[in-house]
Structure 1
């Protein structure tokens, strides 16, 4: 009789996740078996539950795109060993035991907690590879981060500051602005009290790079505050729609617009992903990154975690312990 485990499961599109008991997975040839300690929620999980994500999965399915755990078993010569603490980037991380390919797994620093590691990859990986690999952010440049108190926004603030950029964080409300300042922002803008974001950004010196996980009007306003030769990073659309960017401005001002989807690099350039993650682990080990502790909930409270994301009430990542 197979071992039974607990997991979250989306039983039908448009529904909240349920907590169910299912058989533990059996590893296929060359796979790694992991006992999961924690998994993080991302905005993509909300979209997947609605059937609106670019990588559609038909229900029923176990949600979750990243997490952290311990190796139970692994194939020989894969660079892993039983008992090793690792992060994993793969669909279905919101279960107590999962089976994945070795390429989706990477060891974590000894000083990193499982809760920190669970929400580290997608958010920090997105910001690091977008800022360094696509926008070429350099010390002294001006970086504007929209949604700066969110799961990816705070990481962009931290990484931008660690790279020596002058960071302007845009967020809503005093509590979120305090978190953005603590993450390393040099200047902040309260979007709830700013009727003209473009003017506010220009008053602060404009932008060389805009990091936009929000879209809609905030993305459009920040785009118009870019300097000639600037870079616009389109990370996501938390506001509900993409920004309507005036391409004539991009032409006249020689602005580069980057679409960036971290998960796509698993097939586009997997080595770039692993190299970026190792660089991030090195920054963490050197004390230059401090993952913000967001809401940490038990598996039984996963519907509450989804609600926190949907209502944009979380600061940092929402982590589910398993």
Structure 2
């Protein structure tokens, strides 16, 4: 098999595309022939040794992928050779094959494309947990989505609209704002050219958004939190801008607002039944055409470094997907 091997976690430039013996699955494991894998921000952090979980060296990065079961180990009863599967977590996805625990896999329904599946679990699972579970979003409420043209941002637009909410999408360019409108956003804000607080006020009639979906952090957080509506819920998704903001807590008091942390991976581990129910609803929405991952580019698996380079430009619309044809 061929894999991207990380022996020195100093960044994507140190990854090596190499050939290793194709392993056989042990008890409770399966071998998956990878069809597609997507690039997520934690994949960058983990090869830079900046992620909270640090796998032993050497390792193969890539946490989200789809493929076909090629071999099963002893004791595996839930999967058989030929099954279509998808998973998030555990690593090993940036290659042609991977050994993983059968318990980490999910069956992939017929009609669910491999490239869509590889771009689905993390972003849509996180966003459904954020908006529907943690944010308690209701039909008719207004959601402000920051970083709205990225992977989780595009998912947030689609899920909020599926839930019957009004969506204000904030992004860093007119081109990205146009994409957000195509995905169903009711209004957009280019936060590099306009006054963010003034535009939020104008678009909400002075009320402010009911829910803020923030995967960006940095210097956008405070002005947006100052604009949130009464009983607003500020969903902390991540910090793509790099800086972790320090919000003045008196604003939460004055607005009766909540700062709500969102950690989908831990939610899925601690509350597997609730997580499975959310994913089932998402799968149904996908089948109904209500949601579909936005894929910026499809690249061959061997072009992982090119994908990391594009990610660094902050010009990605949706997700980057690597495929084994």
What does residue 17 of structure 2 align with?
Answer: 19
> Contact 2:296/2:319 (CA < 8 Å) preserved in 1?
yes
Matches of residues 275-294 of structure 1 in structure 2 within 5 Å? 275-294=277-296
Separation in 2, partners of 1:147, 1:59? 33
Separation in 1, partners of 2:292, 2:268? 25
Separation in 2, partners of 1:145, 1:20? 40
CA apart distance, 1:76: 6.0
SS in 2 for 1:185: coil
Separation in 2, partners of 1:290, 1:263? 21
Pairs aligned (count): 317
CA apart distance, 1:199: 2.0
What does residue 128 of structure 2 align with?
Answer: 128
Alpha-carbon spacing, 1:78–1:225, altered in 2? closer, same or farther (3 Å): farther
> Contact 1:154/1:316 (CA < 8 Å) preserved in 2?
yes
CA apart distance, 1:158: 0.6
What does residue 32 of structure 2 align with?
Answer: 34
1:10 to 6, 13, 22: 6
CA apart distance, 1:217: 1.4
What does residue 160 of structure 1 align with?
Answer: 160
CA apart distance, 1:271: 2.4
Segments of structure 2 that go 5 or more residues without pairing to the other structure are none
1:45 to 29, 43, 46: 43
Separation in 1, partners of 2:7, 2:315? 25
What does residue 196 of structure 2 align with?
Answer: 197
CA apart distance, 1:162: 0.8
SS in 1 for 2:232: strand
Alpha-carbon spacing, 1:77–1:97, altered in 2? closer, same or farther (3 Å): closer
CA apart distance, 1:77: 6.7
Segments of structure 1 that go 5 or more residues without pairing to the other structure are none
What does residue 295 of structure 1 align with?
Answer: 297
Separation in 1, partners of 2:247, 2:282? 31
CA apart distance, 1:210: 0.3
Tell me which stretches of 4 or more aligned residues in structure 1 moved more than 4 Å.
Answer: none
Q: Alpha-carbon deviations, 1:56-104, whole Å to 9, x = none?
A: 2243210111110011233667433321211111222112111222221
> Contact 2:27/2:75 (CA < 8 Å) preserved in 1?
no
Matches of residues 142-153 of structure 1 in structure 2 within 5 Å? 142-153=142-153
Q: TM-score, length-normalised on structure 1?
A: 0.94
1:113 aligns with 2:113: yes
What does residue 71 of structure 1 align with?
Answer: 69
What does residue 188 of structure 2 align with?
Answer: 188
SS in 2 for 1:228: coil
Separation in 1, partners of 2:293, 2:36? 15
CA apart distance, 1:202: 1.4
> Contact 1:168/1:186 (CA < 8 Å) preserved in 2?
yes
